[in-house]
């Protein structure tokens, strides 16, 4: 069953509470929160106080996507505010296994994120224990970019590894997801679809959420 994760980076920050309520009414499954530090990616989004406000308002689960240099920072804080899933970039730490364990030890699902150039193979020894893999389908840092088609092969490779070994991690995709690219990613094996600019700019959010599920 495919799940839709609106990226709140594309919400109206002057009416965040309203957009959260409207997206929940439209059938969104999980909210995706993009945390950027201006170091790992060339942009800064929002931090802990805004994430805590979102957590207070939202009634569906929260998925935090850390685009930060030191992903082991702030894990207890996210757990404390009620976040359900936290993902971090494998390119951001020499100790991905340790960060994964840290997230899980706080009762949250741990996800590992791959930039467009990072091969699926880099996760071989993590796939048994990881809860989800986030395949970036754009370069992280900004909403509204074009889907990078070569990432589809990576989704297929991960799906193949999952089937071969009988693993149960989920595959999430993030970046340039719209009606057309959603179908391609689902077909390749993705079950969690993040969408920012496409969803929030749609005239009818309920229709748009439904259409992404195919
Ligand atoms: C990009 C973020 C995405 C972003 C997606 O660095 O990780 O979550 O909000 O935006 P769209 O769907 O517009 O590509
Ligand atoms: Zn994201």
Residue 45 CB less than 6 A away from ligand 1 = no
At 103-155, the pLDDT tens digits run 999 999 999 999 999 999 999 999 999 999 999 999 999 999 999 999 999 99
pLDDT tier, 214 (very low <50, low <70, confident <90, very high otherwise): confident
Listed in sequence order, the residues at least 6 apart from 26 whose beta carbon sits closer than 8 Å to its beta carbon are 205, 206, 208, 209
- On the 0-12 / 13-18 / 19+ scale of CB atoms within 10 A, 23 is buried
What is the position in ligand 1's atom list of the atom closest to the CA of 196?
12
Task: Please say whether the beta carbons of 89 and 135 come within 8 A.
Answer: no
Percent of the chain topping pLDDT 70: 100
Atom of ligand 1 nearest to the CA of 175: 14
- pLDDT tens digits, residue range 135-147? 999 999 999 999 9
Ligand nearest to the CA of 200: 1
What's the pTM? 0.98
In this prediction, residue 173 carries a pLDDT of: 98
Catalytic residue ranges: 34, 174
């Amino acid at each position: 069953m495919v799940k839709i994760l609106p990226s709140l980076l594309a919400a109206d920050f002057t009416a965040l509470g309203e957009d959260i309520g409207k997206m929940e009414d439209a059938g969104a499954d999980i909210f995706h929160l993009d945390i950027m530090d201006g170091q790992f990616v060339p942009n800064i989004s929002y931090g802990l106080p805004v994430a805590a406000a979102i957590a207070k308002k939202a009634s569906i689960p929260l998925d935090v996507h850390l685009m930060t240099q030191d992903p082991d920072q702030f894990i207890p804080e996210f757990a404390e505010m009620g976040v359900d899933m936290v993902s971090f970039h494998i390119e951001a730490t020499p100790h991905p296994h340790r960060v994964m364990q840290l997230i899980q030890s706080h009762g949250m699902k741990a996800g590992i994120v791959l930039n467009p150039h990072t091969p699926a193979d880099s996760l071989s020894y993590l796939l048994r224990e990881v809860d989800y893999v986030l395949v970036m389908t754009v370069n992280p840092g900004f909403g509204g970019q074009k889907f990078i088609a070569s990432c589809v092969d990576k989704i297929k490779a991960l799906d193949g590894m999952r089937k071969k070994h009988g693993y149960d991690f989920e595959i999430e995709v993030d970046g340039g997801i719209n009606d057309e690219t959603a179908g391609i990613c689902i077909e390749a094996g993705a079950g969690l679809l993040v969408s920012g600019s496409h969803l929030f700019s749609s005239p009818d959010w309920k229709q748009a959420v439904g259409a992404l599920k195919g």
